[in-house]
Amino acid sequence: MFDVAIIGGGVVGCAVARELSRYHLRTVLIERYAEVGFGTTKTNSGIIHAGQQTAPGTLKGLLEVRGNAMFDELQRELGFGFRRCGELVVASSEEEIATLHRMKSDGEAKGVRGLVMWDREKLKREEPNLSSHLVAALFAPTAGVINPYEFAFALVKCAEQNGVELRVGSPVTSIAKGPDGFVIEAGAETLKAHFVLNAAGVHADQVAAMVGAADFSIHPRRGEEYLLDKRLEGIVQRLIFPVPTPASKGILIIPTFDGTIMVGPTAQDQEDRFDVPTTFEGSEAVFSSVRRICPAIDPRATIAEFAGLRAVSNTGDFIIGQSAVPGFFNVAGIQSPGLTASPAIATHVVDLLGRSGLSLVERADFNPEVAPPFRFAQQSNDARQALIATDPLFGKLVCRCELVTEAEVNQAIDHGACTLDGVKFRTRAGMGRCQGGFCTTRVMQILADRLKVPFHEVTKRGGDSWIVRPMPAPGPAPDDQTEEG
Partner 1 sequence: MFGRMSKSYDVVVVGGGPAGLAAALGALESGISRVLIVEREPEAGGILRQCIHSGFGLHHFKEELTGPEYAERFITKVIDRDIDVVPQSYVTGLAVDSEGTRLVRVLSERGGLSTIECRSVVLAMGCRERTRGAVRIPGSRPSGICTAGLAQKLVNLDGYLPGERAVILGSGDIGLIMARRLTLEGCKVEGVFELMPYSNGLTRNVVQCLSDFDIPLHLSTTVAMIHGRDRLEAVTVAPVDEAGQPILEKGWDVPCDTLLLSIGLIPENELSLNLGIELDVVTGGPVVTSTMATSLPGVFACGNVLHVHDLVDFVTEEALRAGRFAGEYARHIRRPQDTISLVPGQNVRYCLPHTLSPDRTHTIYLRTKKKLQPCLLKVGDLLERKLRFVVPAEMIHLTIKPELLERFYEDRLQIDLIPLTE
Partner 2 sequence: MTTRRVQNYVCTSCPIGCPLQLVHEGDEIVEIEGQECNRGAKYAKQEFVDPRRTFATTVPIEGALYARLPVKLSAPIPKHLMMAAMGEIRKLSARAPVALGQVMLRDVAGVAGVDVVASRTIPRTLCAPDPRAESRA
Catalytic annotation, residues: 49
Site string for partner 2, 416-455 (x = CB under 8 A): ----------------------------------------
Measured CA distances, 216 to 125, 317, 323 (Å):
48, 11, 10
Nearer to partner 2, 382 or 480 (CB): 480
Which of 12-20, 111-119, 290-298, 381-389 is the region at the interface with partner 1 (rule: CB under 8 A)? 381-389
The CA–CA distances, whole Å, from 36 to 39, 85, 220 equal 8, 27, 19
Which does residue 475 bind out of partner 1, partner 2, none, counting CB within 5 to 8 angstroms by kind?
A: partner 2
CB of 457 to partner 2, least distance (A): 16
Figure out which of the listed residues 1, 247, 364, 477 binds partner 2, where binding follows CB under 8 A: 477
476 is a contact residue toward partner 2 (CB under 8 A):
yes
> Is residue 298 within the footprint of partner 1 (CB under 8 A)?
no
Burial of 473 (0-12, 13-18, 19+ CB in 10 A): exposed
Counting contacts by CB under 8 A, is residue 247 touching partner 2? Answer: no
| Residue 243 engages partner 1 in binding (rule: CB under 8 A) | no
Which partner from the list partner 1, partner 2, none does 466 bind, CB cut-off 5 to 8 Å by kind? partner 1
| By the rule CB under 8 A, 388 interacts with partner 1 | yes
Contact 317, 58 (CB under 8 A): yes
d(CA 423, CA 447): 9
Q: For residue 449, what is the enclosing H or E element?
A: helix 440-451
User: Does residue 474 bind partner 2 (CB under 8 A)?
Assistant: yes
Looking at the Cβ atoms of 289 and 322, the one nearer to partner 1 is: 289
Among 107, 305, 341, 408, binds partner 1 (CB under 8 A): 305
232 φ/ψ angles, rounded to the nearest 5 degrees: -85, 5
In SS3 terms, 359-405 reads as: CCCECCCCCCCCCCCCCHHHCCHHHHHHHHHHCHHHHCEEECCCCEE
Asked if 478 is part of the footprint of partner 1 (rule: CB under 8 A), the reply reads: yes
Give residues with Cβ within 8 angstroms of 320, minimum separation 6. Answer: 59, 329, 330, 331, 332, 345, 348, 349, 352
Q: Which residue type is seen at 271? A: E
Nearer to partner 1 by Cβ, of 177 and 461: the residue is 461
Using the rule CB under 8 A, is 453 a contact of partner 1?
Answer: no
Q: How many residues would you count in the chain?
A: 485
Judged by phi (left if over 0) then psi (alpha if -120 to 50, else beta), residue 330 lies in: beta
- What are residue 308's DSSP bridge partners? 223
Q: Which is nearer to partner 2, 121 or 480 (CB)?
A: 480
3-state SS class at 38: coil
Q: Which residues make up the interface to partner 1 (CB under 8 A)?
A: 227, 274-280, 282-283, 299, 302-306, 381, 384-385, 388-389, 392-393, 395-397, 400-401, 403, 406, 433-438, 440-441, 455-456, 459-472, 478, 480, 482-483
